[in-house]
Amino acid sequence: MAENFAPRRRPWYQILYVQVLMAVVLGIAVGVAFPAEGKALKPLGDGFIKLVKMLIGPIIFCTVVHGIASMSDLKKLGRVGFKTLLYFEVVSTLALVIGLVVVNWLQPGAGFNFDARAADPKVAATYVEKAHALSTVDFLLNIIPNSFVDAFAKGDLLQVLLVSILTGFAVAMMGEQGRVVLHAIETVAKIFFGIMGIVVKAAPVGAFGAMAFTVGSHGIGALQNLLALMLGFYLTAGLFVVVVLGLIARVAGFSVFKLIAYLREELLLVLGTSSSETALPGMLQKMRRLGCAESTVGLVIPTGYSFNLDGTNIYMTMAAIFLAQATNTPLDLGQQIGLLVIAMISSKGASGVTGAGFIALAATLAVVPAVPIESLALLVGIDRFMSECRALTNLIGNGVATVVISRWEKEVTPAQLHAALQQRLTTPDPAPPV
C-alpha cells in the first residue's frame, strides 16, 4: 500500500497569523476591561519591536550587498534604481493628491472650532523639536553616517542602505575575489534570518502587549471626537489600495487582493505592533519566493521604507487640512498646493517606525505658519490608531511596487505570479515567515 507523504496540515492555532490575530483581540479586551494593567503591558510590545529592529540593519546589509554584487550587469542596477524612484514619486504624489481631495470633500474638521491658544504648547513643542531633523538639508546630510559602524548602531535605514549599496559595488568590482566575500555574506544572511525565525515566534506576545497598551492608554472613547477624520482616513487608504494599487497591479498582471492574502502574516504583525519595520524581513523573503530577483527586492523594499510611504502621504495631507478646518484657518488652493509640495519633501524622512508620520506632519506644519502648530495636540490621542492604517498601507504599497518593478524587468511572468499566489492561498506555511 502506497503511503501518503503529503505534508500534514498544522492545527489552526499553530499558524502565526492566527496567533497574532487572537493576540490583538485579547489585547483590545484587556485594554478595555483593565486599562491600568493594559498600560503596564507596554514593555511587551516595545521589547518585540526592539528585537526586530536589532536585526533590520544586518539583514538589509546582507540582502542589498548580495543582490548588487551578484548582478553581472551593473547597468541593470542603474536602470532598476531609476524606475524605482520614478515609480515611488508618481505613486506617492498621487497619494498626496487623493488625500487632499478627500479631506476637502468630507470636511471632517468643519464646525470643530478648536482654539489653538487653549492647547498645551508643550505637546506640540515635543514633536516640532523632533521635526527639525527632517529639514531638507539635514535629511540629506543625515543619510551619510559618521562611520561605517554608526549606520548600524543608529539603525537608520537610509544610512544602512547607503553603506550597503557602496559595499555591494565594491564587492562587484573585486571580480573573482568578490565571490569569496559574496559566499560569506550569504552565509551570514542565513544566520540573521535564522535569528529572525526565532524572534518572530514572539510576535503574538508583542502584538498583545502593544494593543493592550494602546487601548488602555487612550480607550475606545478617545476615538469618538475625531471619528470623522479616522473614518475618512481609513476609507481613503482603503480606496487607494483597492482602486489605485489595484489598477497598477492589474496592469502588471496580478491581483492586489491575492497579494494582500499572500502577505497576511506580515500585515497582521504590522496591525499588532503598529510598525511596518517588524514585517520587513518577512517581506524580503516573500517577495523572493514570488520570483522577484534578489537584486530588485534588495533595492526596492528597503528604499521604499523611506521613499514610498503611501499611507503616510495620505495621512499628512488629510491631517494638515483637518487641523486647518478645525481651527477655522482658511487655506486657498495655492496654499494647499504649497502644503502638498512641502509634504512631498518632509514625508521622505518618515520611516516605518511608530509615530514617524506624526513627526513628519509636525515638520510640514512648521513650514506652513498659517496652520497653528499648537493644534497638533488634537491628534496626539488618536495617532496610534492612525499609525496602524499608515503602516498597513505603506506595506501593501511596497509589496505592489516590488512586483511591478520586477514585472517591468521581465523577472517574473503573470502566470508565475498567479501560480505562486494561488499556491500560497491554498497551502499553509510549514513554518513562521522569517
The pLDDT of residue 6 is above 60 = no
Note whether residue 1 is domain-resident: no
Would you say residue 113 lies in a domain?
A: yes
Whether 419 maps to a domain, the answer reads yes
CA distance 411 to 318: 37
Cell of 285: 523573503
Residue 54 confidence (pLDDT): 82
Q: How far is CA 303 from CA 47, 65, 126, 166, 298, in A?
A: 25, 14, 28, 14, 9
Mean pLDDT lowest for which of 66-75, 119-128, 265-274?
A: 119-128
- CATH no. for residue 373? 1.10.3860.10
Length of the chain: 434
Q: Is the pLDDT of residue 88 over 80?
A: yes
How much is the average pLDDT of 319-333?
83
Mind listing the pLDDT tens digit for each residue in 127-185? Answer: 555 555 555 566 677 778 888 888 888 777 778 888 888 888 888 888 778 788 888 88
Q: Which cell goes with 247?
A: 489598477
What value does the mean pLDDT take over residues 402-418?
A: 90
So what's the pLDDT on residue 380? 63
Asked, for residue 6, whether it belongs to a domain, the answer is: no
**Residue 353 pLDDT grade (very low, low, confident, very high; cuts 50, 70, 90):** very low
234: closest CA among 386, 28, 396? 386
pLDDT greater than 60 at residue 354: no
pLDDT band of 125, cuts 50, 70, 90: low
Higher pLDDT, 18 or 86: 86
Residue 84: the pLDDT is: 87
Average pLDDT, the chain: 77
Question: Which has more confidence, 340 or 238?
Answer: 238
Domain encompassing residue 409 = 12-426
* CA atoms within a 13 Å half-sphere pointing along the CA-CB vector of 14: 8
Name which residue leads in pLDDT, 182 or 431: 182
Cα 380 to chain center, whole Å?
Answer: 20
| Domain membership flag for residue 322 | yes
* pLDDT tens digits for range 92-109: 889 988 988 888 888 887
Question: Grid coordinates representing 350?
Answer: 518618515
pLDDT tens readout for residues 386-404 = 777 888 898 999 999 999 9
CB of 308 closer than 8 Å to CB of 398: yes
Q: From CA 118, how far away is CA 116, in angstroms rounded?
A: 5
Distances (CA, A) of 415 to 262, 291, 330: 16, 11, 52
Q: Does residue 69 have a pLDDT over 70?
A: yes
pLDDT for residue 254 is more than 50: yes
The pLDDT value recorded for residue 381 is: 58
- Over residues 205-238, the pLDDT tens digits come to 887 887 788 677 756 654 454 567 778 888 899 9
Q: Is residue 2 part of a domain?
A: no
Print burial letters for 333-345: b (CB count within 10 Å at least 16), e (below 16): eeebeebbebbbb
Hey, what's the cell of 143?
A: 543619510
pLDDT of residue 241: 93
Q: How many domains does the chain have?
A: 1
> What's the pLDDT score for residue 352?
42
Question: Would you say residue 4 lies in a domain?
Answer: no
- Report the C-alpha gap between 284 and 305 in whole angstroms: 12
Model pTM greater than 0.75?
A: no
pLDDT of residue 258: 92
Residue 434 lies in a domain: no
